[in-house]
Amino acid sequence: MTSSEYSAVFLAEDRRQPAIIGMAVVTTLSLVVVLVRLYARGYLIRELGWDDLTIVIAQIVSWIVLGLSVVVFHYGSGQHLAALMKNPETLVHMYKWLVGAQLVYMFNLWLCRISGITFYARLNQMPRFILYLRMSFAFVTVVFVAQTLIVALQCVPLAALWGGEEGKCMGSVTVFISTSVLTIVCDLLVLLLPMHIVFSLQAKLARKLALALVLCVGVFAVVTSILRMISMIVALQHPDDATWYFSVVMAWSTAEISAAIIALSLPALRALFGFWNRNRSTNHSSSNETTTIGLQFIPRSRQQPILDGDDGHDGHDTHDGHAEHDTHETTFDVD
Protein backbone atom coordinates (compact mmCIF):
# COMPACT_ATOMS: atom_id res chain seq x y z
CA MET A 1 0.00 0.00 0.00
CA THR A 2 1.21 3.52 -0.81
CA SER A 3 1.34 6.39 1.69
CA SER A 4 -1.70 7.98 0.04
CA GLU A 5 -3.82 5.08 1.29
CA TYR A 6 -3.17 5.99 4.95
CA SER A 7 -4.68 8.84 6.90
CA ALA A 8 -2.64 11.94 7.65
CA VAL A 9 -2.99 11.28 11.38
CA PHE A 10 -1.52 7.78 10.98
CA LEU A 11 1.41 9.00 8.89
CA ALA A 12 2.15 11.77 11.42
CA GLU A 13 2.47 9.38 14.39
CA ASP A 14 5.95 9.51 15.88
CA ARG A 15 7.55 7.51 18.73
CA ARG A 16 10.99 9.03 18.51
CA GLN A 17 10.93 11.71 21.18
CA PRO A 18 9.65 9.57 24.10
CA ALA A 19 11.99 6.75 23.09
CA ILE A 20 15.06 9.01 22.99
CA ILE A 21 14.14 10.62 26.32
CA GLY A 22 13.70 7.22 27.97
CA MET A 23 17.01 5.95 26.57
CA ALA A 24 18.83 9.07 27.75
CA VAL A 25 17.36 8.74 31.24
CA VAL A 26 18.43 5.11 31.78
CA THR A 27 21.89 5.77 30.32
CA THR A 28 22.34 8.76 32.62
CA LEU A 29 21.16 6.70 35.60
CA SER A 30 23.79 4.06 34.86
CA LEU A 31 26.42 6.80 34.62
CA VAL A 32 25.50 8.09 38.08
CA VAL A 33 25.74 4.57 39.51
CA VAL A 34 29.16 4.02 37.92
CA LEU A 35 30.45 7.33 39.32
CA VAL A 36 29.32 6.35 42.81
CA ARG A 37 30.96 2.96 42.31
CA LEU A 38 34.26 4.61 41.40
CA TYR A 39 33.99 6.83 44.48
CA ALA A 40 33.43 3.80 46.72
CA ARG A 41 36.13 1.65 45.18
CA GLY A 42 38.70 4.29 44.33
CA TYR A 43 38.41 6.80 47.19
CA LEU A 44 36.94 4.95 50.18
CA ILE A 45 38.35 1.46 49.72
CA ARG A 46 41.22 2.28 47.35
CA GLU A 47 40.90 -1.07 45.61
CA LEU A 48 40.16 -0.36 41.95
CA GLY A 49 40.43 -3.42 39.74
CA TRP A 50 39.99 -4.65 36.19
CA ASP A 51 36.25 -5.01 36.77
CA ASP A 52 36.07 -1.27 37.47
CA LEU A 53 38.05 -0.45 34.34
CA THR A 54 35.87 -2.60 32.10
CA ILE A 55 32.65 -1.19 33.56
CA VAL A 56 33.94 2.34 32.88
CA ILE A 57 34.68 1.40 29.27
CA ALA A 58 31.24 -0.21 29.05
CA GLN A 59 29.68 3.01 30.33
CA ILE A 60 31.51 5.07 27.71
CA VAL A 61 30.47 2.68 24.95
CA SER A 62 26.85 2.83 26.16
CA TRP A 63 26.83 6.53 25.24
CA ILE A 64 28.10 5.60 21.78
CA VAL A 65 25.20 3.14 21.49
CA LEU A 66 22.83 5.91 22.54
CA GLY A 67 24.31 8.27 19.94
CA LEU A 68 24.02 5.68 17.16
CA SER A 69 20.44 4.95 18.22
CA VAL A 70 19.56 8.64 17.99
CA VAL A 71 20.92 8.69 14.44
CA VAL A 72 18.80 5.64 13.57
CA PHE A 73 15.76 7.44 14.98
CA HIS A 74 16.69 10.51 12.96
CA TYR A 75 16.50 8.45 9.76
CA GLY A 76 13.06 7.06 10.46
CA SER A 77 12.92 4.47 13.22
CA GLY A 78 9.89 5.29 15.35
CA GLN A 79 7.85 6.41 12.37
CA HIS A 80 5.51 4.35 10.22
CA LEU A 81 7.15 2.73 7.22
CA ALA A 82 4.49 4.16 4.93
CA ALA A 83 5.51 7.70 5.93
CA LEU A 84 9.10 6.98 4.90
CA MET A 85 8.34 5.54 1.47
CA LYS A 86 8.34 9.01 -0.08
CA ASN A 87 12.10 9.13 0.50
CA PRO A 88 13.63 5.64 0.15
CA GLU A 89 17.13 7.07 0.57
CA THR A 90 16.26 7.75 4.21
CA LEU A 91 15.60 4.04 4.76
CA VAL A 92 19.00 3.19 3.28
CA HIS A 93 20.73 5.44 5.80
CA MET A 94 18.62 4.01 8.62
CA TYR A 95 19.61 0.42 7.84
CA LYS A 96 23.30 1.32 7.60
CA TRP A 97 23.30 3.07 10.98
CA LEU A 98 21.19 0.27 12.47
CA VAL A 99 23.82 -2.33 11.60
CA GLY A 100 26.48 -0.17 13.26
CA ALA A 101 24.35 0.29 16.36
CA GLN A 102 23.79 -3.48 16.62
CA LEU A 103 27.50 -4.24 16.41
CA VAL A 104 28.42 -1.70 19.10
CA TYR A 105 25.50 -2.88 21.26
CA MET A 106 26.84 -6.44 21.28
CA PHE A 107 30.36 -5.21 22.09
CA ASN A 108 28.88 -3.21 24.96
CA LEU A 109 27.20 -6.28 26.44
CA TRP A 110 30.43 -8.28 26.09
CA LEU A 111 32.25 -5.63 28.13
CA CYS A 112 29.60 -5.90 30.85
CA ARG A 113 29.99 -9.66 31.03
CA ILE A 114 33.78 -9.40 31.23
CA SER A 115 33.40 -6.88 34.06
CA GLY A 116 31.18 -9.34 35.93
CA ILE A 117 33.62 -12.22 35.45
CA THR A 118 36.62 -10.18 36.64
CA PHE A 119 34.60 -9.04 39.66
CA TYR A 120 33.93 -12.67 40.64
CA ALA A 121 37.66 -13.34 40.34
CA ARG A 122 38.23 -10.74 43.09
CA LEU A 123 35.91 -12.63 45.42
CA ASN A 124 37.27 -16.15 45.03
CA GLN A 125 40.74 -17.04 43.77
CA MET A 126 40.41 -20.78 44.28
CA PRO A 127 42.05 -22.48 41.25
CA ARG A 128 38.97 -24.49 40.36
CA PHE A 129 36.75 -21.41 40.37
CA ILE A 130 39.30 -19.42 38.36
CA LEU A 131 39.14 -22.23 35.79
CA TYR A 132 35.35 -21.82 35.64
CA LEU A 133 35.83 -18.09 35.09
CA ARG A 134 38.34 -18.63 32.30
CA MET A 135 35.97 -21.05 30.59
CA SER A 136 33.15 -18.52 30.99
CA PHE A 137 35.34 -15.77 29.53
CA ALA A 138 36.10 -17.97 26.53
CA PHE A 139 32.42 -18.84 26.07
CA VAL A 140 31.08 -15.27 26.20
CA THR A 141 33.89 -14.15 23.87
CA VAL A 142 33.08 -16.87 21.33
CA VAL A 143 29.40 -15.89 21.53
CA PHE A 144 30.30 -12.23 20.99
CA VAL A 145 32.33 -13.12 17.89
CA ALA A 146 29.49 -15.34 16.62
CA GLN A 147 26.91 -12.58 17.12
CA THR A 148 29.16 -10.08 15.35
CA LEU A 149 29.57 -12.38 12.37
CA ILE A 150 25.83 -13.06 12.21
CA VAL A 151 25.03 -9.35 12.02
CA ALA A 152 27.93 -8.42 9.73
CA LEU A 153 27.25 -11.31 7.34
CA GLN A 154 23.45 -11.38 7.51
CA CYS A 155 23.51 -10.43 3.85
CA VAL A 156 26.25 -11.18 1.34
CA PRO A 157 27.06 -8.57 0.26
CA LEU A 158 25.80 -6.51 3.21
CA ALA A 159 24.44 -3.84 0.84
CA ALA A 160 21.72 -6.32 -0.09
CA LEU A 161 20.16 -5.59 3.30
CA TRP A 162 19.06 -2.14 2.14
CA GLY A 163 18.62 -3.05 -1.51
CA GLY A 164 21.88 -1.58 -2.72
CA GLU A 165 22.94 -4.79 -4.46
CA GLU A 166 21.66 -8.23 -5.27
CA GLY A 167 22.64 -10.90 -2.76
CA LYS A 168 21.58 -13.56 -0.29
CA CYS A 169 20.30 -12.80 3.23
CA MET A 170 19.72 -14.96 6.30
CA GLY A 171 16.45 -13.26 7.07
CA SER A 172 15.49 -11.01 9.96
CA VAL A 173 14.00 -13.83 12.05
CA THR A 174 17.21 -15.87 11.94
CA VAL A 175 19.45 -12.90 12.69
CA PHE A 176 17.53 -11.27 15.52
CA ILE A 177 16.22 -14.35 17.32
CA SER A 178 19.56 -16.19 17.23
CA THR A 179 21.48 -13.21 18.60
CA SER A 180 18.84 -12.57 21.27
CA VAL A 181 18.87 -16.18 22.48
CA LEU A 182 22.67 -16.16 22.70
CA THR A 183 22.50 -12.93 24.69
CA ILE A 184 20.10 -14.43 27.23
CA VAL A 185 22.26 -17.57 27.57
CA CYS A 186 25.36 -15.47 28.32
CA ASP A 187 23.44 -13.31 30.80
CA LEU A 188 22.25 -16.41 32.64
CA LEU A 189 25.78 -17.81 32.74
CA VAL A 190 27.20 -14.65 34.34
CA LEU A 191 24.21 -14.57 36.71
CA LEU A 192 24.78 -18.13 37.98
CA LEU A 193 28.57 -17.93 38.43
CA PRO A 194 28.44 -16.43 41.96
CA MET A 195 26.47 -19.40 43.27
CA HIS A 196 29.67 -21.40 43.73
CA ILE A 197 31.04 -18.64 45.95
CA VAL A 198 27.91 -18.40 48.05
CA PHE A 199 27.30 -22.07 48.68
CA SER A 200 30.95 -22.82 49.49
CA LEU A 201 30.59 -20.69 52.63
CA GLN A 202 29.66 -22.19 55.98
CA ALA A 203 26.56 -20.26 56.94
CA LYS A 204 22.88 -20.74 57.54
CA LEU A 205 20.75 -21.32 54.46
CA ALA A 206 18.88 -18.05 54.99
CA ARG A 207 22.20 -16.17 55.06
CA LYS A 208 23.37 -17.88 51.87
CA LEU A 209 20.13 -17.09 50.09
CA ALA A 210 20.31 -13.46 51.16
CA LEU A 211 23.91 -13.20 49.97
CA ALA A 212 22.97 -14.89 46.70
CA LEU A 213 20.31 -12.24 46.23
CA VAL A 214 22.91 -9.50 46.63
CA LEU A 215 25.29 -11.10 44.13
CA CYS A 216 22.60 -12.01 41.61
CA VAL A 217 21.09 -8.59 41.01
CA GLY A 218 22.00 -9.30 37.39
CA VAL A 219 18.60 -10.92 37.09
CA PHE A 220 17.35 -7.47 36.09
CA ALA A 221 19.61 -7.56 33.03
CA VAL A 222 18.22 -10.98 32.13
CA VAL A 223 14.67 -9.65 32.44
CA THR A 224 15.41 -6.73 30.14
CA SER A 225 17.01 -9.14 27.64
CA ILE A 226 13.84 -11.22 27.62
CA LEU A 227 11.64 -8.14 27.22
CA ARG A 228 13.84 -7.00 24.35
CA MET A 229 13.41 -10.33 22.60
CA ILE A 230 9.64 -10.17 23.09
CA SER A 231 9.52 -6.71 21.53
CA MET A 232 11.66 -8.03 18.68
CA ILE A 233 9.24 -10.89 18.04
CA VAL A 234 6.42 -8.35 17.85
CA ALA A 235 8.43 -6.28 15.35
CA LEU A 236 9.15 -9.34 13.21
CA GLN A 237 5.43 -10.09 13.11
CA HIS A 238 4.84 -6.69 11.46
CA PRO A 239 7.31 -6.53 8.54
CA ASP A 240 4.96 -4.11 6.76
CA ASP A 241 5.64 -1.52 9.49
CA ALA A 242 9.03 -2.61 10.86
CA THR A 243 10.34 0.92 11.45
CA TRP A 244 7.46 1.67 13.83
CA TYR A 245 7.83 -1.45 15.97
CA PHE A 246 11.62 -1.69 15.93
CA SER A 247 11.89 1.58 17.82
CA VAL A 248 10.71 -0.33 20.91
CA VAL A 249 13.47 -2.89 20.36
CA MET A 250 16.07 -0.14 20.31
CA ALA A 251 14.72 1.36 23.52
CA TRP A 252 14.91 -2.03 25.26
CA SER A 253 18.46 -2.52 23.91
CA THR A 254 19.60 0.63 25.68
CA ALA A 255 17.71 -0.35 28.83
CA GLU A 256 19.37 -3.78 28.73
CA ILE A 257 22.86 -2.27 28.66
CA SER A 258 22.06 0.19 31.45
CA ALA A 259 20.48 -2.56 33.57
CA ALA A 260 23.60 -4.69 33.17
CA ILE A 261 25.90 -1.83 34.17
CA ILE A 262 23.77 -0.93 37.19
CA ALA A 263 23.40 -4.57 38.29
CA LEU A 264 27.16 -5.12 38.12
CA SER A 265 27.79 -1.94 40.11
CA LEU A 266 25.31 -2.50 42.94
CA PRO A 267 27.63 -4.85 44.89
CA ALA A 268 30.24 -2.07 44.87
CA LEU A 269 27.63 0.36 46.22
CA ARG A 270 27.07 -2.11 49.05
CA ALA A 271 30.77 -1.66 49.85
CA LEU A 272 30.06 2.05 50.28
CA PHE A 273 27.50 1.37 52.99
CA GLY A 274 29.79 -1.30 54.46
CA PHE A 275 32.54 1.30 54.79
CA TRP A 276 30.28 3.69 56.66
CA ASN A 277 28.95 0.94 58.93
CA ARG A 278 32.45 -0.29 59.73
CA ASN A 279 33.65 3.18 60.68
CA ARG A 280 30.63 3.71 62.90
CA SER A 281 31.09 0.30 64.47
CA THR A 282 34.80 0.94 65.08
CA ASN A 283 34.01 4.07 67.05
CA HIS A 284 31.74 2.19 69.45
CA SER A 285 33.42 -1.20 69.86
CA SER A 286 36.67 -2.62 71.19
CA SER A 287 39.44 -3.77 68.92
CA ASN A 288 38.64 -7.48 69.44
CA GLU A 289 34.98 -7.32 68.45
CA THR A 290 33.68 -9.01 65.32
CA THR A 291 33.51 -6.81 62.23
CA THR A 292 30.90 -7.74 59.63
CA ILE A 293 31.47 -6.75 56.07
CA GLY A 294 30.09 -7.62 52.67
CA LEU A 295 31.92 -9.74 50.17
CA GLN A 296 32.48 -6.73 48.00
CA PHE A 297 34.36 -4.87 50.76
CA ILE A 298 37.20 -7.36 51.11
CA PRO A 299 40.41 -5.59 49.98
CA ARG A 300 42.52 -7.52 47.51
CA SER A 301 45.37 -7.70 50.03
CA ARG A 302 43.17 -9.73 52.41
CA GLN A 303 41.42 -11.97 49.92
CA GLN A 304 41.88 -15.70 50.35
CA PRO A 305 40.45 -18.56 48.29
CA ILE A 306 37.06 -19.59 49.67
CA LEU A 307 37.39 -23.34 49.98
CA ASP A 308 34.53 -25.77 50.34
CA GLY A 309 33.77 -25.96 54.02
CA ASP A 310 35.81 -22.87 54.88
CA ASP A 311 34.30 -20.68 57.53
CA GLY A 312 35.31 -17.39 55.87
CA HIS A 313 38.21 -16.57 58.28
CA ASP A 314 41.67 -15.76 56.99
CA GLY A 315 43.20 -17.96 59.66
CA HIS A 316 45.90 -15.47 60.76
CA ASP A 317 45.95 -13.55 64.02
CA THR A 318 48.18 -10.51 64.41
CA HIS A 319 49.27 -9.21 67.80
CA ASP A 320 51.71 -6.34 67.52
CA GLY A 321 50.33 -4.06 70.18
CA HIS A 322 48.66 -1.59 67.83
CA ALA A 323 44.91 -1.15 67.80
CA GLU A 324 44.69 -1.11 64.04
CA HIS A 325 46.41 -4.51 63.91
CA ASP A 326 44.37 -6.26 66.59
CA THR A 327 42.60 -9.50 65.83
CA HIS A 328 39.33 -9.16 63.93
CA GLU A 329 36.97 -11.92 63.01
CA THR A 330 35.66 -11.51 59.49
CA THR A 331 32.13 -12.66 58.75
CA PHE A 332 29.92 -12.21 55.72
CA ASP A 333 26.82 -10.19 56.40
CA VAL A 334 24.02 -9.29 54.02
CA ASP A 335 21.80 -7.38 56.39
CATH number of residue 101's parent domain: 1.20.1070
- Say whether pLDDT at 290 is over 50: no
* Residue 179: inside a domain: yes
Angstrom distance (rounded) from CA 225 to CA 222: 5
User: Which range has the top average pLDDT, 100-114, 179-193, 271-285, 300-314?
Assistant: 100-114
Q: pLDDT digits over 139-170, tens only?
A: 999 999 999 999 999 999 888 888 778 889 88
Q: pLDDT digits over 226-252, tens only?
A: 999 999 999 999 989 989 998 999 999
* pLDDT at residue number 129: 82
* Residue 310: inside a domain: no
The DSSP call for residue 218 is T
How many domains does one find in the chain? Answer: 1
* pLDDT at residue number 324: 41
Q: Which percentage of the chain shows pLDDT scores above 90?
A: 33
Question: β-pairing, 155-156 with 168-169?
Answer: antiparallel
**Do residues 35 and 266 make contact, with C-beta atoms less than 8 angstroms apart?**
no
Residue with the bigger pLDDT between 42 and 196: it is: 42
* pLDDT at residue number 264: 86
**Do residues 27 and 62 make contact, with C-beta atoms less than 8 angstroms apart?**
yes
* Residue 29: inside a domain: yes
* Residue 303: inside a domain: no
- In which domain, by residue range, is 216 found? 12-270
* Residue 275: inside a domain: no
Sign of CA dihedral 250, 253, 257, 258: positive
* Residue 222: inside a domain: yes
Average pLDDT, the chain: 79
* Residue 126: inside a domain: yes
Q: Which residues pair with 331 in a beta bridge?
A: 292
By CB atoms closer than 10 A (0-12, 13-18, 19+), residue 139 is: middle
* Residue 151: inside a domain: yes
State the pTM of this model: 0.78
